[in-house]
Amino acid sequence: MLSFDAMTRSDYDQVLAVWLAAEGLSHLESRAEFERFIDRNPGLSVVCRDLEADQIIGAVWCGHDGRRGYLYHVAVAEGFRRQGIGTGMVEQCLRNLEALGIKRCTLFIFVTNSDAEKFWKAIGWQGRFDLKLMAKDLG
């Protein structure tokens, strides 16, 4: 039996294991960064638990800036993919954002991650070709 639950600080080790096993994820956060994100966005991020195994098998980070929502590090353990778990977690995150009055959600995928692009398109997301992403590492 599966359960979709709000991600908590104590989920770090199991969530990190899911993220590390996933392809296409870049920099993964330290425990301190993880806890800071969870504290700043309480109840928005979601995990999927296999209740029989008492194990997290999927995770998605969800946050917002007061105007737009963002999804990060969406991943489902290899043996549990293509069962609607990713879609279920994303839908829960979107409901969480809508409850706060957030009207749009954005995510980032690597241009070489065609599996991710197929997944997002299949559940109704659209590519943006009018924007260019820029970043700068600090400290």
Q: Three-state SS for 13?
A: helix
DSSP H helix total and E strand total for the chain: 4, 5
Residue range(s) defining the domain that contains residue 93: 2-122
Give residue 26's pLDDT.
64
- Residue 87 belongs to domain with CATH number: 3.40.630.30
Whether residue 139 lies inside any domain: the answer is no
Whether residue 28 lies inside any domain: the answer is yes
Q: Quick: pLDDT tens for 75-92.
A: 999 999 999 999 999 999
Closest CA relative to residue 23, chosen from 88, 97, 115, 104: 115
Whether residue 110 lies inside any domain: the answer is yes
Whether residue 128 lies inside any domain: the answer is no
Q: Quick: pLDDT tens for 8-20.
A: 999 999 999 999 9
Whether residue 55 lies inside any domain: the answer is yes
Please report, for residues 27, 47, 71, 74, the alpha-carbon distance to residue 91 in angstroms, rounded to integers and kept in the order given: 24, 12, 11, 12
Span 119-131, average pLDDT? 91
Give residue 137's pLDDT.
82
The number of distinct structural domains making up the chain is 1
